[in-house]
Amino acid sequence: MLKYNFSAGPCVLPQEVFKKAADAVLDFNDLSILEISHRSKDFVQVMEQAQSLAFEHLGLQDKGYKALFLGGGASMQFLMCAYNLLENKAAYLNTGTWSAKAIKEAKMFGEVIEVASSKDSNYNHIPKSYSVPSDVDYFHFQTNNTIFGTQLQETPSVEVPIVCDMSSDIFSRQRDFDKYDLIYAGAQKNMGPAGATLVVVKEEILGKVSRSIPSMLDYKVHISKDSMFNTPPVFPIYVSMLTMQWLKDNGGISWIEELNNKKAGLIYNEIDRNPLFEGFVTDKADRSKMNATFVLKDEAHKDAFDQLWKDAGINGLNGHRSVGGYRASMYNALSVEAVETLVSVMQELERKG
Ligand code: PMP
C-alpha cells in the first residue's frame, strides 16, 4: 500500500501526474522525455503550456508579467532577486529560516532593513506591527514558512514593489497575485520534482540597477530567451506542467483551496481538542494550511505515537529539527483521507492514553 506522505518537500504529487510522468519517461512522442532536445518543438510546447498555466492559475495573463522556470532552487532566488533589484536598500520581513537566508544573501548587494522579526520566539508567529519605508527598492517576505508552520493570510499593503517567496503555498489558495511584482517558488511542493523554480516577474521592475549582472543570474537574459537561455530542467518543468494541468482540470485554485481548508480544519480541530497535543504556532490566525506544526504535551507518549502513525502508513511526520515535535505537511495532492487517518491515530493515542 502506498504511504500517506506528509513530507515537507519534496512531497506528494497527484498519482495521475506520477503515472503520466512515468509514461513520458518511456515514451513521449516516440522518444523519452529525458532524451529530447529542449529546443525540440515538443518541449517548446511544454514550456509554453507551463508558462501559460502558471499565468492562468495566478490570474496574471496580459498584465506585463513574464514566467521563467530556472534552475538553482528557491535559494538561488534569494540572491538573484537582490542582484537584479537591490540598488540601495530593501526591506525584509523575517519570519523564519528561509527569510534569514534570503536576508543574508541580499546583504551582499545593498542595505537590508529587517522591518520585523519573530526570531526571538523561534518564529512561532508572524510579526504584525511594522512599517515598510517608502524609499526601499522592494519589500521581501515569505507567504508560508515551511519549517515553523506559519502563513501570511493577507498581502501587506505597501507602496513599494513586492518580492515574494511562495515556495510552500503556491497554487494552494487565492491571493491578490497582481499586487506582487516578483513571485518565486521552488517546484518541489505544489508543482513537481525538485530542480525547477518558477519565477513570475513584472517586466517593468527590471533593468533599474546600475551593476552588471552575470548572464545566468540576469532575469532579462532569461526573459529574452523565453526561459531557454541554457538547457532548462526539462523533466521538472514537464511534471510541473502536468500538475498545473491537473489543478486546472479539477477546478483550479478555488477547488483546491476548499480542500486545503478542509484538511487544515480537520488537523487543527484535533490539535485543539485532543488533550495530549498542542500547536506550535501561538497566534491561531497565523496557522499554515500547508504545514501544521504541533507537539506532544508529554514526551512520554512519543514512542507510542510514533509507532501508531507509522503503523497507519503515515510517512514524514517528524518536525524540523529547529522546532521538534511533528509537522503535517498537507500540500495540494495530499488526500483528505490521509489527514483523516492522522486524526484517527491521534484519537487512538488519546484512548490508549
Ligand atoms: N523557501 C521556502 C519557503 C522553502 O520552504 C524552501 C525549501 N523548502 C526554500 C525557500 C529553499 O528552497 P530550495 O531548496 O529549492 O533552494
Q: What is the pLDDT of residues 169-185, one digit of tens each?
A: 999 999 999 999 999 99
Question: Cell for 133?
Answer: 519605508
Single residue among 250, 266, 295 that ends a domain in this structure: 250
- Mean pLDDT calculated for residue range 181-194: 98
In 229-286, which ranges are E strands? 277-279
pTM: 0.98
What is the Å distance from ligand 1's center to 62 Cα? 28
Give pLDDT, residue 243.
98
Pocket of ligand 1 (CB under 6 A): 9, 73-75, 98, 142, 146, 165, 167-168, 186
- For residues 186 and 271, membership in a common domain is answered with no
- For residues 289 and 227, membership in a common domain is answered with no
Confidence of residue 263 (pLDDT cuts 50, 70, 90): very high
* Alpha carbons 112 and 103: distance in angstroms, whole number: 7
Give pLDDT, residue 93.
98
Give pLDDT, residue 1.
82
DSSP for 136-167 reads SS-EEEESEETTTTEE--S----SS-EEEE-T
Give pLDDT, residue 353.
77
- Mean pLDDT calculated for residue range 293-316: 98
Give pLDDT, residue 337.
98
Return left, alpha or beta for 195; rule: phi > 0 is left, psi -120 to 50 is alpha, else beta.
left
Predicted ipTM beyond 0.95: yes
Q: Are 241 and 53 in contact (CB under 8 A)?
A: yes
What is the Å distance from ligand 1's center to 8 Cα? 10
Q: Is residue 5 part of a domain?
A: no
- For residues 163 and 136, membership in a common domain is answered with yes
| Active site residues per annotation | 98, 165, 189
- Which of 171, 176, 173 is closest to 186 using CA atoms? 171
CATH of the domain at 50: 3.40.640.10
Give pLDDT, residue 91.
98
Which residue has the least CA distance to atom 9 on ligand 1?
Answer: 74
pLDDT digits (tens, 9 = 90+) for 67-125: 999 999 999 999 999 999 999 999 999 999 999 999 999 999 999 999 999 999 999 99
